[in-house]
Amino acid sequence: MAREMNRFTLRAMGYSSVAVASFIVALVLSSELFLAASLISATIMLLSFSMYPPRAKVERSLPKKILFEEEEMEVSIDMIGKGQIGNIEIFDHVSPMMEISKGSNLALLAPGSVKHHYSIKAPLRGFHKIGPTTLRRWDPMWLWFKEGDSGNKESVTVFPEMFPGRSGELILKDLKYRPGDMILRRVGMGKEFHSIRDYTTTDPYNTINWKATAKTGRLLVNQYEAESVTDIMFIVDSRLVSRVGTIRDNPAERSVRFCASLSSELLKRSNRVGLIIYGTSVTVMKSKGGVTALDQILHMLTDSTPAGQINLGATVTYSLPYLHPNCPVFIISALNEDPSVRDALKQLIGRGHKVTVVSPAGVEFERGVYEGKILPKYVLKRIGRDNMILDLRSMGAKVIDWPPGNDIVWALEEVWK
């Protein structure tokens, strides 16, 4: 526990003033009554000062360190100390980007109480801190208190909210050029050994494990790990212009949640997924599969902050060595204030990539900031955006124009069509 600081209240100042004033009056008037009042006030103060509750330390328990947006978690605080703990005021510091959904992080523990609970909710993605806990130990008369911090800071990672896609399959016909096998750690028609099971009438004879059959006296067959050859790359716009809108709903946040949701669905379908984020710099994750890929994607999306002005053209040029030939590419961008979009898509389509553009309508979010007023600049931006979308579709790209009124589930449905 950190060093405590002694503090006093206005009530303590009142008792002190009464004691000193009564003592001075007693000397001047030679009054035993005022002397008794002075002694009583001083005795109350000294007794109260000497009866502090014992020192205590805080142990905070969190059921998990990773949450998703809008998910709740209960925080438990245990007070540990010698003797009877009481008259202790606690304040558990919580990141301002998190909300208290149940209870309170400020509480006064009655004598004998050693536990406190409250719940937090994470409305926004990010890396947040909880702690330390500030303790105030009060005397029985509430005249003095000692204040200090106890417990450690704990980090809580809040991943973007993920939305389920509809049941079905996303048709991805283009496989990698000269593909290498990707082991999925599940049963399939691969070459790597997975496990042994009992023989069924539909199993081919060449999968029978004769050594295991001889040992057990029953027919056993080998199972092998499935393999996949499909790579998908996401390119997410994290420029400063993508922040237009509210802190909770803007093109940047929609792009992050959409990418997390679709990546999760694609990885469940045994694909390999890569991620490129551009803003102040270009961050690249090569195509991977499995749970580790999803975890890395979620961490990258959580860490992304809308900033910078790197355009899509420079991002595509830089990222070409990381794109597998003919792999599908998803570009998630508001497409505003970027004159390089057309050239970037020409470059990708010319190299054989199937390009899907998911575009939250940044112009409409900007219009919402002006409370729906139709300004001349909005009309010009809207015409420019419509023309760009027509050009991109004429090049062969699939473009999903995502208005603010439609949610992420709608955008996922458009992709799965």
Looking at residues 271-299, what average pLDDT do you find?
92
Q: How far is it, in rounded angstroms, from Cα 155 to Cα 338?
A: 36
Residue 262 is assigned to a structural domain of this protein: yes
Looking at residues 295-324, what average pLDDT do you find?
93
Task: Say which range, 1-5, 66-70, 123-127, 138-142, has the weakest mean pLDDT.
Answer: 1-5
Residue 176 is assigned to a structural domain of this protein: no
Per-residue confidence (pLDDT) for residue 56, from 0 to 100: 80
302 and 412 assigned to the same domain: yes
- Confidence category of residue 28, pLDDT binned at 50, 70, 90: confident
Q: With CA atoms as reference, report the closest residue to 395 among 331, 319, 322.
A: 331
Per-residue confidence (pLDDT) for residue 278, from 0 to 100: 96
Mean pLDDT of the chain: 83
193 and 238 assigned to the same domain: no
Q: How far is it, in rounded angstroms, from Cα 273 to Cα 262?
A: 10
271 and 385 assigned to the same domain: yes
- Confidence category of residue 194, pLDDT binned at 50, 70, 90: low
Looking at residues 38-58, what average pLDDT do you find?
80
Q: How far is it, in rounded angstroms, from Cα 149 to Cα 152?
A: 9
Q: How far is it, in rounded angstroms, from Cα 248 to Cα 365?
A: 12
Cα angle 384, 385, 391; round to 5: 90
* Backbone phi and psi for residue 33, each to the nearest 5 degrees, phi listed first: -65, -45
261 and 372 assigned to the same domain: yes
139 and 220 assigned to the same domain: no
Residue 260 is assigned to a structural domain of this protein: yes
* DSSP state, residue 305: -
367 and 307 assigned to the same domain: yes
Determine what percent of the chain is predicted with pLDDT higher than 70: 85
Per-residue confidence (pLDDT) for residue 374, from 0 to 100: 58
Determine what percent of the chain is predicted with pLDDT higher than 90: 38
Instruction: Say if residue 132 is preceded by a cis peptide, omega within 30 of 0.
Output: yes
Strand partners, 188: 224
Q: Is 44 helix (H, G, I), strand (E, B) or coil?
A: helix
Token couple for 38: 């002075």
Q: How far is it, in rounded angstroms, from Cα 27 to Cα 259?
A: 82
Residue 120 is assigned to a structural domain of this protein: yes
218 and 279 assigned to the same domain: no
pLDDT tens per residue, range 219-234: 998 887 555 557 899 9
Residue 38 is assigned to a structural domain of this protein: yes
259 and 352 assigned to the same domain: yes
237 and 109 assigned to the same domain: no
Q: How far is CA 163 from the centre of its chain?
A: 14
Does residue 169 surpass a pLDDT of 60?
Answer: no
Output the domain CATH number for residue 297. 3.40.50.410
Contact 90, 101 (CB under 8 A): no
Per-residue confidence (pLDDT) for residue 392, from 0 to 100: 93
Q: How far is it, in rounded angstroms, from Cα 101 to Cα 96?
A: 13
Residue 108 is assigned to a structural domain of this protein: yes
Which residue, of 192, 212, 228, is where some domain finishes?
228
Q: How many domains does the chain divide into?
A: 4
Per-residue confidence (pLDDT) for residue 395, from 0 to 100: 92
Residue 96 is assigned to a structural domain of this protein: yes
322 and 295 assigned to the same domain: yes
Boundaries of domain holding 210? 182-228
192 and 239 assigned to the same domain: no
Does residue 168 surpass a pLDDT of 50?
Answer: no
Tokens 């057309």 locate to 342
- Alpha carbon separation from 303 to 50, 323, 338, 394 (Å, rounded): 50, 23, 23, 35
Per-residue confidence (pLDDT) for residue 171, from 0 to 100: 47
Task: Say which range, 3-17, 127-141, 239-253, has the weakest mean pLDDT.
Answer: 3-17
User: How many CB atoms lie under 10 A from the CB of residue 282?
Assistant: 18
Q: Is 259 helix (H, G, I), strand (E, B) or coil?
A: helix
pLDDT tens per residue, range 90-146: 899 999 989 999 999 998 887 777 788 999 998 999 999 998 999 888 887 778 788
326 and 255 assigned to the same domain: yes
* CA dihedral of residues 392, 326, 413, 297 (deg, nearest 10): -110
Looking at residues 247-266, what average pLDDT do you find?
91
Output the domain CATH number for residue 101. 2.60.40.10
Handedness of CA 309, 312, 316, 317 (dihedral sign): negative
Residue 89 is assigned to a structural domain of this protein: yes
Per-residue confidence (pLDDT) for residue 369, from 0 to 100: 54
